[in-house]
Amino acid sequence: MLWPFKSKSAAERCPTIGQYRIDMTIDGTEGLMPLSPEELVALNSTMAFEEEQIWHAPDAHFMDLQWDTILGTVRGSIYKIAIQLTGPRHETGTRYREMLIYCTKRYGRPKNMMLWKASDGNVVVDLTNAGSEGILNVFVTSRMVGQFKRL
């Protein structure tokens, strides 16, 4: 008898974003360029890991769009995929709602506003409006982050 102890299925894995998946290696990936020292400062990251590298990557195709892409790696494995879409507010707003629906269908209700837990990490969706423009960011982060040595 399952009730009242209903089994809960494990969340799905984080989505593949174009040609990128968390925990895969970047070996053989062409077109990667490290962020400049100025860009790294602009990220204003409060955390860094031993053997971490941050890369501009070729655009990822995801949900029928081309996204600007940055990859975070440790020892050559992707631990974070950050994609960004900019454009008119009404377009980014529509894409934002589509992302919320996509994530909610796959992972259930979000935790902490726009954070969804997956079996191998998490997905965060963020929309910022600046005048008539919108900036949609999606971050996919591996659960392996907890095992990395912080600097």
Distance CA 117, CA 134 (A): 25
Distance CA 85, CA 79 (A): 20
Q: pLDDT at position 69, please?
A: 98
Cβ contacts of 15 within 8 Å, gap of 6 or more: 62, 102, 106, 123, 140
∠ Cα 55 60 65 (to 5°): 140
Q: pLDDT at position 7, please?
A: 41
Q: pLDDT at position 1, please?
A: 43
Beta strands in 5-132 (DSSP E): 33-34, 52-62, 65-74, 77-88, 115-118, 121-130
Q: pLDDT at position 9, please?
A: 54
CATH class of residue range 33-41+51-142? alpha beta
Cβ contacts of 94 within 8 Å, gap of 6 or more: none
State pTM to two decimals: 0.90
Q: pLDDT at position 47, please?
A: 86
Q: pLDDT at position 86, please?
A: 97
Residues of the chain scoring pLDDT < 70: 1-10
